[in-house]
Amino acid sequence: MRRNFLWGGAIAANQSEGAYNEDGRGLANVDLLPYGEDRLAYMSGEIDSLELQQKYYYPSAKGIDFYHSYKDDIKLLAEMGFKSFRISIAWTRIFPNGDEEEPNEKGVKFYENLFLECKKYAIEPIVTIAHFDCPVNLIKKFGAWCSREMIACYEKLYKVLFTRYKGLVHYWITFNEINMILHAPFMAAGITFKDGEDHEQVKYTATHHELVASAMAVKYAHEVDPENKVGCMMAGGDYYPYSCNPKDVMEAMNKNRENLFFIDVQARGEYPEYAKKQLEQKNITLPILEGDYELLKEHTVDFVSFSYYASKVAASDSSEKRETAGNLVKSIKNPYLTLSEWGWQVDPLGLRITLNTIWDRYQKPLFIVENGLGAIDKLTQNHEIEDDYRIAYLSEHIKEMLHAIEQDGVDVLGYTSWGCIDLVSAGTGQMSKRYGYIYVDADDHGQGSYKRYRKKSFYWYKKVIESNGAILLS
Ligand code: BG6
């Protein structure tokens, strides 16, 4: 186990900050995701408008008001002994339209203050440059990541971040869950589809642009500060074959490759042969320009980060097999696993398996930057929350991570559980789907005091960090 293991938690700008139109912030794709039954259609790019509409409630507009409460929130995290805190940048705070010549100083200052607050408590910020954010202006102007113009806009953004926060931030992640572009293209990359367009072609075109932008960011980050460590990030969780039928095994391999493909490029520096063949068979052409391959090859990431909520199951014939929900991707139900209240499979050992898969493949330090249980919490009259179910989930998962480190030799930089402070759910827009150690008194419609309360898991996680995980193994 690394001596300076980065225990901590994670949040994202669009799910926590709120203040969506304060201090010059511009409108982003994530602001347009409504609460309610139309949310899924929006996330996948079936958009009828790029304006806010009266008929909807938009939970990101208020988030958990982190924009105003960050000092008190970070103080609570410090009380738990956090060594790291993963946050993301709201692109439109820095560049409200995405293509201005100069950044919005108020936005730049906000994150500077936030990082200084972390520094006060010796908390290492882990900063995701784009956690699903894309300025609406760039969607209107260029069609978001489908256009190569986006690379220059993203370049402007990371140049400001790397230079202005030099010395304050050492860990960067270029894109959150880059593989989500396949499943929620509007939420993940601002993509909307025109009639008759080949969706796969559009998604892989955007993917190539993000991969090039990511490699350029790695290059520049290292030039500005050799101390910078830049990582890629995928929605992880291995697919298991439904049975030992070789056809199921083949299907699971293909499904895993669908996700690992992105990391193959970012960590190994080239498009893998299987991907080239598959894209060719689907008549998909990548918009490769001269110099792209060299850039990808020469500027691979320093570490590989991922989110892990559950493993998944694949079968060559999935008809008549029971399905269950997951992190935006459904899976065949695994008969050996239980389900969360939202139908996500609970598989702690799957975390150890996934860690080993990724470590074997890339041999680069790994970082678990999201893991946790979305659950309903009850606030008692005394403002207490007995979240034993969350403690049980996290204990089992962290234990398996420790086994992967101690028994399998996997190199892990840190562990930041998801939603360390309750926040808006990305998938559903709910506040009632809670992940935190800290309860936020707000409901699904933005009603509540927004006061913070320590849950039982708060005191538990403090002890985990204090003991460097040892209390879980004794
Ligand atoms: C990941 C995202 O996909 O899963 C987070 O990076 C998200 O933004 C998390 O919140 C949990 O998903 P959900 O839908 O429960 O919020």
> What spacing in Å lies between the alpha carbon of 326 and ligand 1's midpoint?
10
Confidence of residue 318 (pLDDT cuts 50, 70, 90): confident
Confidence of residue 51 (pLDDT cuts 50, 70, 90): very high
> Does residue 425's CB lie within 6 angstroms of at least one atom of ligand 1?
yes
Rounded average pLDDT over 374-396: 97
Confidence of residue 424 (pLDDT cuts 50, 70, 90): very high
Q: Does 179 score more than 90 pLDDT?
A: yes
> Does residue 80's CB lie within 6 angstroms of at least one atom of ligand 1?
no
For 213-256, the pLDDT digits (tens) are: 999 999 999 999 999 999 999 999 999 999 999 999 999 999 99
Contact 432, 448 (CB under 8 A): no
DSSP assignments along 179-215, one per residue = GGGGT-HHHHH-----TT--HHHHHHHHHHHHHHHHH
Return the pLDDT at 319: 87
> What spacing in Å lies between the alpha carbon of 174 and ligand 1's midpoint?
17
Q: Does 449 score more than 90 pLDDT?
A: yes
Distances (CA, A) of 130 to 52, 172, 213, 246, 464: 21, 10, 11, 39, 30
> What spacing in Å lies between the alpha carbon of 167 and ligand 1's midpoint?
29
171 in a domain, yes or no? yes
For 37-49, the pLDDT digits (tens) are: 999 999 999 887 9
Helix (H) or strand (E) holding 438: strand 438-440
Which structure tokens are listed for 98? 């995405």
What does the CA dihedral 103, 109, 115, 119 come to, rounded to 10 degrees? 140
Domain count, the chain: 1
- Nearest ligand 1 atom to alpha carbon 12: 8
Q: Does 3 score more than 90 pLDDT?
A: no
Contact 16, 73 (CB under 8 A): no
- Nearest ligand 1 atom to alpha carbon 419: 10
Please indicate whether residue 319 or residue 437 has the higher confidence score (pLDDT).
Answer: 437
Residue-range definition of the domain harbouring residue 76: 6-472
| Rounded-to-integer distance, Cα 132 and Cα 2, Å | 30
Output the pTM of the full model.
Answer: 0.98
445 in a domain, yes or no? yes
Q: Which of 108-113's residues contact partners 24+ apart within 8 Å by CB, and which partners?
A: 108/160, 108/164, 110/23, 110/67, 111/161, 111/165, 112/164, 112/165, 112/168, 113/70
> What spacing in Å lies between the alpha carbon of 425 and ligand 1's midpoint?
6
177 is catalytic: yes
> Does residue 128's CB lie within 6 angstroms of at least one atom of ligand 1?
no
- Give the residue among 340, 306, 255, 246 at the shortest CA–CA distance from 86: 306
Mutate to test the pocket of ligand 1, among 370, 417, 434 (most ligand atoms within 8 A of CB): 370
Mutate to test the pocket of ligand 1, among 35, 132, 307 (most ligand atoms within 8 A of CB): 307
468 in a domain, yes or no? yes
> Does residue 17's CB lie within 6 angstroms of at least one atom of ligand 1?
no
Confidence of residue 62 (pLDDT cuts 50, 70, 90): very high
What CATH code is carried by the domain that includes residue 309? 3.20.20.80
Report the relative pairing of strands 229-235 and 303-307 from DSSP bridges.
Answer: parallel
Q: Does 95 score more than 90 pLDDT?
A: yes
Please indicate whether residue 3 or residue 442 has the higher confidence score (pLDDT).
Answer: 442
For 155-178, the pLDDT digits (tens) are: 999 999 999 999 999 999 999 999
37 is catalytic: no
- The one catalytic residue in 17, 177, 251, 400 is 177
Q: Does 154 score more than 90 pLDDT?
A: yes
80 in a domain, yes or no? yes
Position 290, amino acid: E
Rounded average pLDDT over 75-80: 98
- The one catalytic residue in 117, 210, 370, 400 is 370
Return the pLDDT at 47: 83
> Does residue 87's CB lie within 6 angstroms of at least one atom of ligand 1?
no
For 201-214, the pLDDT digits (tens) are: 999 999 999 999 99
For 99-139, the pLDDT digits (tens) are: 999 999 999 999 999 999 999 999 999 999 999 999 999 99
Return the pLDDT at 324: 92
- Nearest ligand 1 atom to alpha carbon 427: 14
For 256-275, the pLDDT digits (tens) are: 999 999 999 999 999 999 99
1 in a domain, yes or no? no
Rounded average pLDDT over 55-65: 98
CB neighbourhood size of 338 (10 A): 8
Phi, psi of 231 (to 5 degrees): -120, 160
282 in a domain, yes or no? yes
∠ CA 86-91-96, rounded to 5°: 150
Return the pLDDT at 321: 87
For 346-370, the pLDDT digits (tens) are: 999 999 999 999 999 999 999 999 9
